[in-house]
Amino acid sequence: MNKINNAFLCVDFGTSHTLAGVAYADSAIENQRIKLEPDLADPFLMRTLLYFPSMNECYYGSAALKKFIENEMEGRIFRSFKSHLPNKNYLGSIIDNRILNLETMIGTFLLEVKKRSESQIGHKLDKIILGKPARYSMDIVEDEFALYRMTKAAEYAGFTDIQFVPEPLAAALEFRKTSETEKTILIGDFGGGTSDFTILKISKNEFKKSDVLSIDGCAVAGDAFDSLFMSQRLNTTFGAKAMYQMPMSNNVFKMPYSIMERLNKPAHIVHLKEKETFNFIKEVQKCALKISDQKIIDRLFILIEDQQIFPFFEVIENTKKILSSKKTAKFEFNYPDIETSDQFTQGEFNQWSEPILTEVSAALDRCLKSAGLDHAGIDSVFLTGGSAYVPAIQNIFDVRFGKDKIQTKNFFHSILSGLMESANLS
């Protein structure tokens, strides 16, 4: 297979979904989006999922979910693994007694994207333009560490020329094409793991780097909202308040915070099945002070051993979506022996969301301050991503900018388009 020197694989590697396209810099060859999932309704959109039935087998995207279900949910399925990037304490996972580090996990996924892209366009790709959030973490060292890990993952996938473009800038590059007059716009992109902002001057004139007035963001978004349902209520049905006392000890303990943290978060919950953690939960169950607590922990074991973690969070995500348009949503999970039914209201969800909203508001304020603008200085606001539909998020922008300035759509392809355009920017 031949190689074209000016060809870049552009990848919007998201916490929830991934898109790819090939850009030909300074060339008459037309850029091309890649159909990563040819059999789906949106063939360009691939879920960021990895499924390992064993260490020697791996499935990706929709095939990962399909095979996981066919195999009666045996093996390991990973979602939201991008969110681990800034965490120095997260090294990876263990499958069949073999270590799979995070860089290899992400690199394996990028390699599959590379193979599917090369197969579609008919030539090799060794240059990549990767989208990156405005901030992987609010900690500068952690943010740089995440970028280092992504570089290593891209190298594992076989790329020798690796470039990063901020995702909010990529989105802004796409939106500027729609402008007939000069405007100052704000782009808010709410993904699964991060919330990103760009303030940009747009016009029909040739793009200049000085058109970008500011970029900022924070490391909370869709997954953080999903976690609220578990941390605020649902985890109590899996042992969050279970009390235990170890033999020969006078101290009484509650289920450790570290265990509940894994239970609460979509990216972490899969690791409850790891041997050391799983055995510790067994010890807690043996030493539980009440029979009722032992029975509740039995529910946790069913959730883990019967591989119901992923389906459970799918129901949580759907509940969140319902609350975007309705005042109440019923949560219903019907797997035998861990049946769970609850009712959630938009009001309590908004209340639980306040710490997340504070972080989002702070990032937005930093972005405005860096641009030297107040709210009146923004002509239009474009909000994209699943969490852009959360009413409390929309309210932040309604209050600051007014409803007339705001457009909210799922511009899933806007970042990819901007990444492809960036191939021609010096």
Residue 357 has pLDDT above 80, yes or no: yes
Q: Are 161 and 102 in contact (CB under 8 A)?
A: no
pLDDT, one tens digit per residue, over 331-348 is: 999 999 999 999 999 999
- The helix/strand/coil state of 78 is strand
**248 near 202, Cβ under 8 Å?**
no
pLDDT of residue 421: 86
Question: Of the candidates 53, 2, 9, 60, which has an alpha carbon nearest to the alpha carbon of residue 31?
Answer: 9
How many other C-beta atoms can be found within 10 angstroms of the C-beta atom of residue 190? 24
pLDDT for res 309: 84
Comparison of pLDDT for 223 and 377, the residue scoring more: 377
Lowest mean pLDDT among 69-78, 221-230, 336-345, 352-361: 69-78
**What would the two tokens of residue 177 be?**
């094409």
Q: Which pair of tokens denotes residue 193?
A: 């793991």
DSSP bridge pairs for 190: 195
Q: Are 281 and 297 in contact (CB under 8 A)?
A: yes
DSSP β-ladder status, 212-218 and 253-254: unpaired
Q: Is the pLDDT of residue 26 over 70?
A: yes
Q: Which pLDDT does position 408 carry in this prediction?
A: 75
Return the exposure string of 347-364: e unless at least 16 CB atoms fall within 10 Å of the residue's CB, then b.
eebbebbeebbebbeebb
pLDDT in tens, 130-143: 999 888 888 899 99
Residue linked to tokens 């030539």: 123
User: Could you tell me the domains of the chain?
Assistant: 7-168+416-422 (3.30.420.40), 178-223+353-410 (3.30.420.40), 227-350 (no CATH)
Tokens 């348009």, residue located:
325
Please name the helix (run of DSSP H) or strand (run of DSSP E) that holds residue 267, with its range, or none. Answer: none
**CA angle in degrees (0–180, nearest 5) for 360-363-369:** 140
Q: Lowest mean pLDDT of 25-29, 52-56, 199-203, name the range.
A: 25-29
- Cα→Cα distances 309→25, 78, 142, 229, 313, Å: 43, 11, 28, 14, 6
pLDDT band, residue 93 (cuts 50/70/90): confident
> Per-residue confidence at 95, pLDDT binned at 50, 70, 90?
confident
Check pLDDT > 50 for residue 387: yes
Query: Would you say residue 322 has pLDDT above 90?
Result: yes
Average predicted confidence (pLDDT) for the chain: 89
Reported confidence tier of residue 412, pLDDT bands at 50, 70, 90: low
Query: Which tokens in the block code for residue 67?
Result: 């095979």
Q: In this model, does residue 385 exceed pLDDT 60?
A: yes
Amino acid at 83: S
Q: Which of the four pLDDT bands, split at 50, 70 and 90, describes residue 379?
A: very high
CB atoms within 10 A of CB 135: 22
Task: Pick the closest to residue 133 from 107, 104, 165 (CA basis).
Answer: 165
DSSP secondary structure letter of residue 206: P
Residue 125 has pLDDT above 90, yes or no: yes
Residue with more model confidence, 231 or 384: 231
Residue 276 identity: E
The widest CA-to-CA distance across the chain, in whole angstroms, is: 77
pLDDT at residue 354 greater than cutoff 90: yes
Instruction: Specify the pLDDT at position 426.
Output: 47
pLDDT digits 0-9 by tens, 159-174: 999 999 988 788 777 7
**CA 107 to each of CA 50, 78, 100, 112, 190: distance values in angstroms, whole numbers, following the listed order:** 11, 14, 11, 9, 24
State mean pLDDT over 301-319: 88
Number of C-beta neighbours around residue 138 at 10 A: 15
Q: Which has more pLDDT, 198 or 271?
A: 198
Contact of 69 with 93, CB cutoff 8 Å: no
β 406-408/380-384 pair status: parallel
Q: What percentage of residues in the chain have a pLDDT greater than 90?
A: 54
Residue 220 has pLDDT above 90, yes or no: no
The CA–CA distances, whole Å, from 307 to 56, 137, 195, 228, 238 equal 20, 30, 30, 21, 14
Could you give the percent of the chain with pLDDT greater than 70?
A: 97
pLDDT digits (tens, 9 = 90+) for 194-218: 898 989 888 777 777 788 899 899 9
Global pTM value: 0.77
Does the structure show a pLDDT above 70 at 31?
A: yes
- Model confidence at 263, in pLDDT bands (50, 70, 90)? confident
